[in-house]
Amino acid sequence: MDLLLQLADVYTLDTLYSPTQLPRDSLLRQALSVSAITLAGGAFLYLSGSRLLVRVHVRQVATRSPRFLKQQERKEIAYALGSIPGMTLLMLPWFLAEVRGYSMLYSHVSDFGWGYLVFSAVWFLVFTDMLIYWFHRWLHHPRVYAAVHKPHHKWIVPTPFASHAFHPLDGFIRGLPYHLFAMLFPIHRVLFLALFATVNYWTISIHDGLHVSKNAWLNGAAHHAMHHSDFNYNYGQYFTLWDRLDGSYREPQHEPEREKQE
């Protein structure tokens, strides 16, 4: 986020803020700027990734199901875009902490070396996958599910537009592991930004209905589609490891018609 903020300051925000004379390190200015960047960036990642994956044959597969809602894609988009401001507000303290130097983000590869850079990328995926699994399990607790997570399960036959169509608190809980990682472990700020964008696109991809990967250890669209239809299985984000360890794994049934169309 700090890299995006620096670029925005140089090319846009310095001019916009000049009448107010707010310095770049002003907490108020940073809060306003980070909020604007998060709103715009979140909407861009969501809409660009979803639009790329919503192909005609994906729509044809989804709309043949009686569980596909009338005008579902429009409802998914409206719900997601309506939730992004709330998620932005909840995430703001974490982004501000990173911008103001309270995280373990670093700028120079030489600080930890190339070996650690590669390791940190792998560890990021392993660590966040573990936390997201358990946070997701908690979201299915009866006392939490109805108020927070149930809106996302309205989309029993999801499209990519369902990927971010959830309650703001749900979105915050899902995003929290990424920020916790930056607080606990050193990670290069460019790598962190790249991974943050990548996991957003991954989240979109597992809602696209395309059974492209049959790798049993990757939590692809086939696995996640089963989670939307049978809510008690396949809670993982990238991998199926924790589902296997905790007994919540279920092998997806690959649909012949869908594979033929692909």
- What is the tens place of the pLDDT at every residue in 185-239? 999 999 999 999 999 989 888 887 666 667 888 888 888 888 988 888 999 999 9
pTM value? 0.86
pLDDT of residue 65: 63
Phi, psi (degrees; rounded to nearest 5) at 141: -65, 140
Contact residues for 81 (Cβ-Cβ < 8 A; gap 6+): 43, 46
The pLDDT of residue 10 is above 70: yes
Read off the amino acid at residue 218.
Answer: L
Of 6-10, 15-19, 66-70, 153-157, the one with minimum mean pLDDT is 66-70
Pair of tokens at residue 123: 């560890």
Confidence of residue 249 (pLDDT cuts 50, 70, 90): very high
Phi, psi (degrees; rounded to nearest 5) at 67: -90, 0
* Cα-Cα-Cα-Cα dihedral sign, residues 137, 140, 144, 147: positive
Cα end-to-end span (Å), the chain: 37
CA distance 140 to 94: 25
